[in-house]
A = this chain, B = another copy of it.
Amino acid sequence: MQNRRTDRGSFFPVFWKVDSHYPLMDFHKDCNLSQPEDVAIYAEGKYNVKLDGKLFEGTPTTINVPAGQHRINVKVFNQASVPTIYVKGKTVVSDSSWLLTFEDKEWIDETGKTSDVSATKWLNAGSWNFNSPTNLPSQFKLPVVSQSAVSTTANSTSRLIDFGKETFGFVKLHGVKGSGAMTLYYGESKEEALSKDGAVTLDRLQFSNVSKQDSTMPLSKAFRYVNVVMEPTLNLDSVSMLYEYADVKDRGSFKCSDEEINRIYDVAKYTLHLATREFFIDGIKRDRWVWSGDAYQSYLMNYYLFFDSPTVERTMAALRGKDPVTGHINTIMDYTFYWFLGIYDYYLYTGDKSFIKNFYPRMQSMMEYVLGRRNKDGLLQGLPGDWIFIDWANGLSKKGEVSFEQMLFARSLETMALCADIVNDDRGKTTYTKLSDDLKKKLFSLYWNSSKHALVHSRVDGKQTGNVTRYANMFGIFFNYFNDAQKQEVKQHVLLNDSIQKITTPYMHFYELEALCAMGEQDYVLKQMKDYWGGMLNLGATSFWEEYNPTKKGAEHYAMYGREFGKSLCHAWGASPIYLLGKYYLGVKPTAAGYATYTIEPKLGGLQWMQGEVPTPAGNIQVYCSTTQMKVKGAAGKGLLSFQSKTKPICKEGVIEAKGGNNYTLMIEPDKAYTVRYKAK
């Protein structure tokens, strides 16, 4: 995945460290059979098989396992791709009950005796849907489906093909005839495809006396337009494409009375689909890489759309890589912290502890690395090799100790404490709790400026800078680090203050709008969404962009990184309406791990009605809400519908509790439909 980006036909891989798998792996399974059984064994790699410690001769493809208690070991070597096994008996099959090690700590002495103390550490084997011996994990490819162009503009030496919207896949040429050179210039915009010098991706081909040849490009690309430029000695019939996609299903949905919001939701959904591949990547033209800060937002959107856990786990595992830690994740300090935060959310939404149990040692070593880089005041500032990213924002200072980084650091330490608790590391829990408590205190003692009613952006040389930015202040709200008075101050003096530097990326708009939603500003946020995402749609966007600055004009919008068409026009972080509409309008969120308990707090934010579904580990939660009626149906956990009504609400299926003022709640039992008649404020 990290090696499929190209730039002007050049291979363009990531710049950070890439780890490889352990090439030698020992898998084992303990089983207790009531009947003997034949067990077929396949492996990707050279392998051997043991039964109860005794090696079979050669490389058996089937072994007979007698009745009773037995241990089967399969040891596989594969340097080129990950060692894997496929085992198929009547009861003994390759599944997640197998354990593995890459380091046996057991040896045999000169008399043939096995050492009496084994310190071998066994981990849970990964397992997925490779359900036949010919279905090799190393050969995994996403599915494709053929799609036709919407229009073609042709002249004698070129064809400009428009696929109607942003898409991704393998271009297919039909009926090429003749000899000569051909270049395919890809464009997310028409301007890019038509710019022979500016198009970021291209394919250069050479044909020699072909007649009616079809060719499919070897590497998938992101584009809406393809400009095929060829020598006059060449001709071609038509161009189509194979759309490549991750087969994840929409479980969540949203529809409402505002057609523009519906279009925004649909384009956000399509944007997230495009950027969800083997892993959650940033953008499909560029970088096609797994970036932790980008992926973190995809996880959250995923919980409101696909609820696809394997993609989250794969992405978090890929980001972390192997020990030793020699730098921040993606080299970016903030991105290390988003990795921790992603684990917290994963547990909260899915209730699955297995990732934490397998990865806790790598969480510890990652945090050790961070702790080892604190300065004498216990704060983090950029050391050589640390990229302080925060956001793409003109002139943003990265100097000294940035408050935003300390806040993410504190949240990461809280995550460590939570995970320590899950894996029963009592000492770790105490340590991490103390560290996060101390750091949270420092956040206020060192950065809060009461005359500015906000946290300042940074300290330089031990002194507060006067600069106030939105970043730490908006996170402080939904991290719940501020008290109520501080929240109001921050809202007025930072979030709703136009003199504070504006955000121009959907990336940070995600958090800005989340902070405002968390404070009940759904009406304001709905307008912002229509302005900002609606603004992109008005410019013809068919997927959401990496950055959008409404003050720019025409093709200026496509420039970035000092390049005319440097901007990515399909970037996962552009899809945040999925998350905001599910969590803060439909109002569904877990309050205990895996939706054991959850709340539904519908907020119309000015809409006449809305309806949708939010996925949970065991079924969807359904919500319909108009100004006079709500219909909800819960999933497996215990839900709490919470709302305001100007009149006394009525529900036949449950007992509504009045909470004072206009506030009411209703307990939502699993799998039961409720209708509430009420009057929105």
Question: Interface residues, chain A, CB within 8 Å of chain B?
Answer: 3, 7-24, 46-48, 55-59, 75, 77, 79-81, 102-113, 115, 117-120, 204, 323-324, 326-327, 331, 365, 383-385, 387, 392, 547, 560-563, 566
Contacts and interface: CB of A to CB of B under 8 A. Distances in A.
Given A20-B79, A22-B20, A326 B103 contact: yes
Most buried by B among A7, A204, A331, A560: A331
A106 B105 CA distance: 40
A221 to B, nearest CB: 15
B77 A79 contact: no
B58 A10 contact: yes
Q: How many copies does the complex hold?
A: 2
Contacts of A48: 10-12
A102 B323 contact: no
A353 to B, nearest CB: 24
Contact of A56 (B10, B56, B110, B326): B10
A300 B417 CA distance: 52
Which of A15, A21, A46, A104 has most chain B Cβ within 10 Å? A15
Given A9-B58, A10-B59, A103-B327, 13 more contacts: A9-B57, A9-B59, A11-B48, A14-B24, A18-B24, A20-B23, A80-B80, A103-B326, A105-B327, A105-B331, A105-B385, A112-B561, A112-B566
Contacts of A384: 105, 117-119
Nearest to A47: B11
A470 B487 CA distance: 75
Contacts of A23: 18, 20
Q: Is the interface of A mostly helix, strand, loop or mixed?
A: loop
Contacts of A562: 111-113
B16 A103 contact: yes
A551 to B, nearest CB: 16
Contacts of A107: 15, 331, 387
A11 B77 contact: yes
A96 to B, nearest CB: 23
B561 A111 contact: yes
8 contacts: A10-B57, A11-B47, A14-B24, A18-B22, A110-B392, A111-B561, A112-B563, A324-B324
A24 B102 CA distance: 22
A322 to B, nearest CB: 8
B323 A12 contact: no
A387 B12 contact: no
Nearest to A25: B18
B55 A7 contact: yes
Contacts of A18: 22-24, 77, 102
Nearest to A119: B385
B387 A77 contact: no
Contacts of A547: 110
A55 B110 CA distance: 58
A612 B368 CA distance: 57
Contacts of A79: 20, 80-81
A561 B113 CA distance: 8
A177 B254 CA distance: 75
A204 B59 CA distance: 11
A115 B387 contact: yes
A118 to B, nearest CB: 8
Contacts of A9: 57-59
Contacts of A323: 323-324
A48 B11 CA distance: 6
